[in-house]
Amino acid sequence: MTDLSQPGLPGALPDKRQVAASFSRAAVSYDSVAQLQRDVGSTLLEQLPASLEPSNWVDLGSGTGYFSRMLKQRYPQCVGVAVDIAEGMLRHAREQGGAHYHVAGDAERLPLREASVGLIFSSLAVQWCGDFAGVLSEARRVLQPGGVLAFASLCVGTLQELRDSWQAVDGLVHVNRFRQWEAYQRLCIASGMQVQVLENRPHVLHYPDVRSLTHELKALGAHNLNPGRPTGLTGRARMQGLLQAYERFREPQGLPATYQVVYGVLQKPLEGGV
Ligand SMILES: C[S@@+](CC[C@H](N)C(=O)[O-])C[C@H]1O[C@@H](n2cnc3c(N)ncnc32)[C@H](O)[C@@H]1O
C-alpha cells in the first residue's frame, strides 16, 4: 500500500503476493473485527445513485463477500461477480453466497471484457494498489457507457497516531503508507470519467489499549506490509515505548485510531466509447 502521490517509487511498491497471502490468512478472522469496513462500505452503498439500475455488478476486492451479499439484496435481478486477489478470501466468500461468480484478479488488470459491467463497487481495497491511475483506467475500460465506479479507499493521515508513536520509539516504518488525498483528486479528475462524488471523511475508532488495535489490524490482514518494515519480534522495551508514546493521544473514549477515508463515485460518459 504505497505509491503515495508520486509514481516511480518502484522500491516501495507493495508485493501483491504478500498482500494476497496476508488477506487469505485473515479470511476466517476478518468478519469478527471488521466494524470500520462495515461502516465504510455501508456509507459507500448509500452514495450509489438512486437511479442506477445496472445490468450486472462487480464487487472489486470483495474480501469475505459481505458487500456482495448487500449488492445482491439491492439488485436482486443482476448477475454479480466478486473479484479479489486473495484466493483464500474468494473461497471463504463462495461458501457464504452473494456473487454468482468468484474470480481471482487484480484491480490493476481486471480479468473482464471491455464495456461489460454496469457497476463496480470497491470498498477499502484499492488502497493496496500502487497504480491507482491503472485501477481507474481499467474501471473505465470494463464499464459500459453510463456505468458507475463507486470506491472507498484510504489516504494519508490514516493510522497517524500509530505512525507517530512508532516514530517516537525507533523512527522506523511500522505502518502502511497511503496515497495523498490530492493524488486521488488529481487522478479521478484525469480519469476520463465524470466525478459525481469525491470526498475525504475521517472515521475515528477507539481502543482500550494499543494491543487491541494491533491485534485487530493483524486479524484483518491489514497490518504493516510495507517494504522496509522492521521484521522479527518486537522487543519488550520497544513495545513498552510504543504503549507510552500512544498514551499521549488518549481520549475519554480510549485510544483513537483515525482512518482518513476517501469516497468516490465516477461515471463513464455515455458517449466517448471504451
Ligand atoms: C480490507 S479488505 C475489504 C474487503 C471488502 N471489500 C469489505 O469491505 O469487507 C481488502 C480486500 O482487497 C483485496 N485486494 C487487495 N489488493 C487487491 C488488488 N490489487 N486487486 C483485487 N483485490 C485486492 C484483498 O485481498 C482483500 O480481500
Q: What is the pTM of this model?
A: 0.90
Q: For residue 127, is it within any domain?
A: yes
Q: For residue 166, is it within any domain?
A: no
Tell me the C-alpha distance between 192 and 266, whole Å.
9
Write the pLDDT tens digit of every residue in 183-196: 999 999 999 999 99
Q: For residue 235, is it within any domain?
A: no
The C-alpha cell at 174 is: 511500522
Indicate if the pLDDT at residue 176 is higher than 70. yes
Q: For residue 16, is it within any domain?
A: yes
30 lines ligand 1 (CB under 6 A): no
At 26, give phi and psi (nearest 5°).
-85, 0
Nearest CA to ligand 1 atom 4: 63
The vertex-169 CA angle with 168 and 174, nearest 5°, equals: 95
1 lines ligand 1 (CB under 6 A): no
In this prediction, residues 120-132 reach a mean pLDDT of: 95
Return the CATH number at 75. Answer: 3.40.50.150
For residue 76, report the distance from its CA to the centre of ligand 1, in Å. Answer: 23
61 lines ligand 1 (CB under 6 A): yes
129 lines ligand 1 (CB under 6 A): yes
For residue 196, report the distance from its CA to the centre of ligand 1, in Å. Answer: 23
CB-based contacts of 174, cutoff 8 Å, min separation 6: 162, 163, 166, 224, 229, 230
Q: For residue 62, is it within any domain?
A: yes
The larger pLDDT score, comparing residue 220 to residue 150, is at 150
Tell me the C-alpha distance between 196 and 126, whole Å.
18
Q: pLDDT band at residue 8, thresholds of 50, 70 and 90?
A: very low
For residue 80, report the distance from its CA to the centre of ligand 1, in Å. Answer: 16
Q: For residue 212, is it within any domain?
A: no
Q: Which phi-psi region, left, alpha or beta, contains residue 135 (left: φ > 0; alpha: ψ -120 to 50)?
A: alpha
Lowest mean pLDDT of 28-32, 59-63, 192-196, name the range. 28-32
Write the pLDDT tens digit of every residue in 129-157: 999 999 999 999 999 999 999 999 999 99
107 lines ligand 1 (CB under 6 A): yes
Q: pLDDT band at residue 199, thresholds of 50, 70 and 90?
A: very high
Total structural domains within the chain = 1
Indicate if the pLDDT at residue 273 is higher than 60. no
Q: pLDDT band at residue 24, thresholds of 50, 70 and 90?
A: confident
Q: For residue 250, is it within any domain?
A: no
48 lines ligand 1 (CB under 6 A): no
Q: What is the mean pLDDT of the chain?
A: 88
Which of 259, 4, 270, 5 minimizes the C-alpha distance to 153? 259
Range of the domain at 99: 10-157+176-207+259-273
131 lines ligand 1 (CB under 6 A): no
